[in-house]
């Protein structure tokens, strides 16, 4: 079981917990969740969503459980939004019925001003591809690395606790930081899990249509 009680909060969960229409969103889409929630509700879709780093979601898909305070999360998803490398594993295990590319994620450095950087904040590399990218960058430039909850990186920079952080480019722009994109990109894909129902199929379709417009408004490059 993965215990997230110390680092994560109940606002990583959306919708109605009784719903069997379970959607897993990669944490990179956190900035767009208010609008995605609104569009799903506007289409009269009852759903329950988890918004965590992909490493946590993929372990849940393969039957691990998550503890968040006193709450145990153990419902299997019907729709998943994950990096293409993780989606590849689901294809190999013949778990997904359909997969479509959704948008591109661009790993970046975020900061207030260019300076002699000494400290770097990164998400947990056990759960996030950003963390692994941050480890490599910190090693290459001999920076002292601090593993932080993703949402804490911007505030740590503002408080001068770290000099720079590794986040997705669209997140850095949302938070109003200077952004230097690293020479990498990751494709985020949406998948429909076998055994889905009509409401899950409808959610899949809505995210691919109206959801893409929402992502574009949050500085993400979507696939047409």
Are residues 201 and 149 part of one domain?
Answer: no
pLDDT in the model for residue 224: 86
CATH number of the domain enclosing 23 = 3.40.190.10
What is the tens place of the pLDDT at every residue in 97-156? Answer: 999 999 999 999 999 988 789 999 999 999 999 999 999 999 999 999 999 988 899 999
Look at residue 60 and tell me whether its pLDDT is greater than 90: yes
What domain count does the chain have?
A: 2
Are residues 144 and 99 part of one domain?
Answer: no
What is the tens place of the pLDDT at every residue in 186-222? Answer: 999 999 999 999 999 999 999 999 999 999 999 999 9
Four-CA torsion 31, 104, 8, 112, nearest 10 degrees: -70
How far is it, in rounded angstroms, from Cα 35 to Cα 24? 16
How far is it, in rounded angstroms, from Cα 97 to Cα 102? 16
pLDDT in the model for residue 150: 84
How far is it, in rounded angstroms, from Cα 193 to Cα 130? 25
For residues 27-31, give the mean pLDDT.
Answer: 94
Are residues 100 and 43 part of one domain?
Answer: yes
How far is it, in rounded angstroms, from Cα 54 to Cα 26? 5
Taking each helix axis from N to C end, the angle separating 54-61 and 84-92, rounded to the nearest 10 degrees, works out to: 10
pLDDT in the model for residue 8: 67
Residues 33, 36, 41: CA angle, nearest 5 degrees? 125
Which domain covers residue 30, as residue numbers? 2-105+186-222
pLDDT in the model for residue 14: 95
Are residues 193 and 96 part of one domain?
Answer: yes
How far is it, in rounded angstroms, from Cα 178 to Cα 108? 10
pLDDT in the model for residue 68: 86
This prediction's pTM: 0.93
CATH number of the domain enclosing 164 = 3.40.190.120
Look at residue 172 and tell me whether its pLDDT is greater than 90: yes
For residues 58-77, give the mean pLDDT.
Answer: 91
Are residues 92 and 11 part of one domain?
Answer: yes
Are residues 24 and 117 part of one domain?
Answer: no
Residue corresponding to tokens 């606790």: 161
Q: With CA atoms as reference, report the closest residue to 190 among 103, 95, 75, 63.
A: 103
Task: Give percent above pLDDT 90 in the chain.
Answer: 87
1 within 8 A of 66, measured Cβ to Cβ: yes
Q: With CA atoms as reference, report the closest residue to 28 among 147, 176, 180, 174.
A: 174
Provide the 3-class DSSP secondary structure of residue 61: helix
């Amino acid at each position: 079981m993965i215990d997230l009680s110390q680092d994560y909060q109940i606002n990583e969960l959306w919708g109605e917990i009784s719903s069997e229409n379970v959607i897993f969103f990669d944490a990179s889409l956190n900035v767009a969740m208010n609008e995605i929630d609104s569009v799903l509700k506007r289409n009269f879709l009852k759903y329950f969503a988890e918004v965590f780093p992909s490493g946590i979601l993929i372990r849940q898909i393969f039957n691990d459980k998550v503890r968040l305070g006193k709450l145990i999360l153990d419902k299997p998803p019907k729709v998943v939004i994950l990096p293409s490398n993780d989606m590849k594993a689901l294809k190999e295990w013949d778990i997904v019925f359909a997969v479509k590319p959704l948008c591109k994620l661009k790993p970046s450095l975020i900061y207030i001003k260019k300076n002699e950087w000494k400290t770097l904040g990164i998400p947990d590399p056990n759960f996030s591809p950003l963390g692994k990218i941050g480890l490599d960058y910190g090693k290459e430039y001999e920076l002292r690395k601090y593993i932080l909850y993703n949402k804490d990186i911007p505030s740590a920079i503002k408080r001068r606790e770290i000099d720079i952080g590794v986040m997705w480019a669209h997140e850095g722009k949302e938070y109003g930081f200077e952004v230097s994109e690293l020479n990498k990109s990751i494709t985020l894909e949406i998948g429909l899990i076998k055994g889905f129902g009509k409401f899950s199929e409808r959610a899949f379709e809505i995210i691919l249509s109206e959801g893409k417009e929402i992502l574009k408004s949050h500085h993400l490059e979507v696939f047409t």
